[in-house]
Amino acid sequence: MTTSPLANPSATREMLEAFGLATKHRLGQNFLIDNHVIERIMDLAELTGSERVLEVGPGIGTLTLALVQAAGRVTSIEMDSELEPVLSAHAIDHPNFNFILGDALAVPPAQIAEALGGEPELLVANLPYNVAATIILQFFQTMPSLKRAVVMVQKEVADRIAAVTSTKAYGAYTVKLSLYGKVTGRFEVPPRCFMPAPHVDSAVVRIDRVGFPGTLPDRQVDAACGTDAPVSTAGSDGVLTCDSNGGQDGASVLVLAGAPSAEDIARVVDAAFAQRRKTIRNSMSANGFDKAALDAAFAQCDIAPTARAETLSTSEFVQLAEALAAASALS
């Protein structure tokens, strides 16, 4: 089992005192002090020793010191400049570790790839809770090489990530993230596992990248990349990148003529959920979509215009976006 020498209260206190540090509530700093949680995170990550791993919010390096034992290369992004000395000390002790000081949402993917010696393959992190949902979606959107994420988040965010149709937690975020990944593991983490203990419950979720759910993209990807090929969208032109067993690790490119991009689908999803208590037709028409085009698309997709957004699956949203794109109703 891979553990961390910092995952206990006494070691955490000693590290904070040695570097004259204190936790900062505004940055969501709650340091993990339970090695059992570290072990379970590492089990979900399934590292083999060669992966390029990205971490966000390393803090004093509790999870970092477990990751460097099991990964080929680890790069952490930390916003708190006062943590630079402790992270620099870890970098001296572990040649396969480096870090970037900055806002994870603003660091360019190219800078991350340069630091890692290649594009990131996994995101493993105890994320800052106030930006966790945004980080997860943005990283899957902008880093096609990212195959898996194992992340600690607030329990309510985990519920949104893993939600199913017709539930309160199911919403636009759930659908948009499911264009890129699916939840394949989860466990709860109580407040006592942190120092200081947060006022919310936490959960670790594993999200594995998947291809576009839906009809047209699936057919074209299967034909060009193979049925088991994970893919990711790139831009508004409908380009998908294969990362398949028979592909070239993200090198081969497939253009899906006429297929909606992820941005197009997101626009449909956002409009559908914009007024959640309304029918999907009323919500979407109130948010920029032509009623006649909507009615035709609903009929084509066999979707009741009186349905509410939370009853539609991701694949149904993709089909609806396809129908609207074919009718030039997304421009």
pLDDT band at 239 (very low <50, low <70, confident <90, very high): very low
Give the residue-averaged pLDDT of 51-75. 98
Residues 6+ apart with CB under 8 A from 177: 136, 137, 140, 161, 207
What is the number of residues in the chain?
A: 331
Q: What is the CA 221 to chain-centroid distance, rounded? A: 22
Q: Is the pLDDT assigned to residue 139 strictly greater than 70?
A: yes
pLDDT of residue 234: 40
Domain with CATH 1.10.8.100 in the chain: 216-326
Q: Is the pLDDT assigned to residue 301 strictly greater than 60?
A: yes
Distances (CA, A) of 243 to 73, 169, 224: 20, 31, 11
Say how far apart CA 20 and CA 116 lie, in whole Å.
29
Domain with CATH 3.40.50.150 in the chain: 9-209
Q: Dig out the tokens for 34 from the structure.
A: 């339970």
Residues 191 and 199: beta-carbon distance below 8 Å: yes
Residues 6+ apart with CB under 8 A from 219: none
Say how far apart CA 270 and CA 176 lie, in whole Å.
9
Q: Is the pLDDT assigned to residue 261 strictly greater than 60?
A: yes
Domain 9-209: CATH class, spelled out: alpha beta
Work out the percent of the chain whose per-residue pLDDT is above 70.
84
Given phi > 0 = left and psi -120 to 50 = alpha, else beta, which region is 190?
beta
pLDDT of residue 27: 55
Q: Is the pLDDT assigned to residue 134 strictly greater than 60?
A: yes
Q: Is the pLDDT assigned to residue 243 strictly greater than 60?
A: no
CATH 1.10.8.100 for domain 216-326? yes
Work out the percent of the chain whose per-residue pLDDT is above 90.
79
